[in-house]
Amino acid sequence: MKHTVNEIELKNGSKGLFVDVPGASVMVYDFSFRAGEYLVEREKWEVPHLLEHVLLGANEVFRKSRIFQAEFEKNGAYTNAHTGTYHISYEAECADFEWQRILDLILTAISKPLFLREEFIAEFGNVKDERSARTNNHFFHLAATARQAYGLLAMTDREALRQMKNVKLRDLTEHYHRTHTFGNMRFIIGGDLKGRREAIKKTIEGVDLPKGGGRLNLPSELPKPLEKPIFIYRPSVKTMFFYLDTFTLKRFDDEGWDALGLVNTMLTATLNSRILGEARERGLVYSMSSNLDTTLDSSQWWFGAQVIPKNSPALFEIIVRELKRVRAGDISPTDLETAKQYLLGRHQRGAQTVGGTLAGYSGRYYFDDIIENYDRVPERIRAVTKTRIVEAAEAMFAQKVGGLGVLGNSRVRQITDELYDIIQPLWYE
């Protein structure tokens, strides 16, 4: 969607982006605080998650959660909240005609929660149910286990369930007062902002939150290599789940990140990609994913799939071969152009809605206050060269930090060491 972006710094110390989308029929609000799990002790891991649930409940204006939600949703508006390792974010989307009412309501929820004991007990049960449902998601469990093994901040759903008994209502209120301050808040607001900017600024500046001491710092996380593969025994699982990870102990600049994004696309994004395309053609795996991630001190490249055990050695051989080809510069002009065209199209599709447009800014802005230049993304994609790809891909393996995580039954256990041996040349050859 055609839009313009401006950063706003308010008198109360908060900062945010105004994303003006002329003619939009909806308004979208997103308020984020550095308040995630990294700020609590491990035995209190669920404090941020429970806080997020309870906060969108009873408040000083609406004394019961259901009454607040009924008022919020009466014209079809939507609200939700999300907790992660680093942030808690609260979002709302509404029809354009009620933009002021919904802004007032979401800010009331954030600034005037009651933290009722009965709602804490209810949400404790809801979070427990949510976590319990996810214990059967083998990808989630394996990913969290692997992150812990690499020394990164993470906890499996099963362990989080065991730790929940340690969380008391006072933990939520203490965490709230520590983190929900203007200085620690960032926001992104999108829609048709013509004639509304000053009213929105005035509304946010009038919220009853403490100024605080500024933005809380992100944690330092340095991944370490695995000395052996991770194996999680699940006797009832007939297939195999795996993640292959590699890290470099630095964060890439835009050129390096763009190069990695393009080669990642080249390898697994489509049914014509080098790894997934061949694997599908040979009947080895139905789907496969790979992606990039970052911490304050490192960059990560991961590959994962669910595969029939007997097919896994052949799939791993394809992965290793294609990664070595890329690092050797075996990239044709056609490969490069095809991946660029795919990324250009995906970039255009990602901003079809106001919410999708905001999502394109939130990741980097909340992480390190960088405002993505949306209009420059096509230019950056076109500027990726084979040389940049080779340099970035080499850097991801040069420091020999990585490994393999596998989940499956006893049959899978028997081949895990074989699979680990297959991938070792990525770091040691």
Let me know whether 174 and 287 are in one domain.
no
Tell me what the mean pLDDT of segment 366-373 comes to. 93
Q: Is the pLDDT of residue 100 over 90?
A: yes
216 within a domain of the structure (yes/no): no
Among 205, 220, 247, which residue terminates a domain?
A: 205
151 within a domain of the structure (yes/no): yes
Q: Is the pLDDT of residue 349 over 90?
A: no
Let me know whether 171 and 317 are in one domain.
no
pTM of the model: 0.93
Let me know whether 288 and 386 are in one domain.
yes
211 within a domain of the structure (yes/no): no
Q: How many domains does the chain have?
A: 2
Q: Is the pLDDT of residue 9 over 90?
A: yes
In the DSSP assignment, the letter for residue 3 is -
Tell me what the mean pLDDT of segment 61-71 comes to. 96
Let me know whether 164 and 245 are in one domain.
no
| Measured distance CA(26)–CA(375) in Å, rounded | 22
Tell me what the mean pLDDT of segment 383-412 comes to. 96
pLDDT at 346: 87
Q: Are 220 and 343 in contact (CB under 8 A)?
A: no
Domain of 196, in residue numbers: 4-205
pLDDT at 347: 85
Let me know whether 147 and 293 are in one domain.
no
Let me know whether 34 and 139 are in one domain.
yes
Let me know whether 69 and 109 are in one domain.
yes
- 83 three-state secondary structure: strand
Tell me what the mean pLDDT of segment 304-325 comes to. 97
86 within a domain of the structure (yes/no): yes
Let me know whether 103 and 244 are in one domain.
no
Let me know whether 17 and 88 are in one domain.
yes
Q: How confident is the model at residue 351 (pLDDT cuts 50, 70, 90)?
A: confident
Q: What is the CATH number of the domain that holds 110?
A: 3.30.830.10
Cα–Cα distances (Å) from 189 to 29, 57, 171, 186, 350, in that order, read 5, 22, 30, 10, 17
Q: Is the pLDDT of residue 96 over 90?
A: yes
Let me know whether 176 and 252 are in one domain.
no
pLDDT digits (tens, 9 = 90+) for 244-287: 999 999 999 999 999 999 999 999 998 889 999 999 999 999 99
359 within a domain of the structure (yes/no): yes
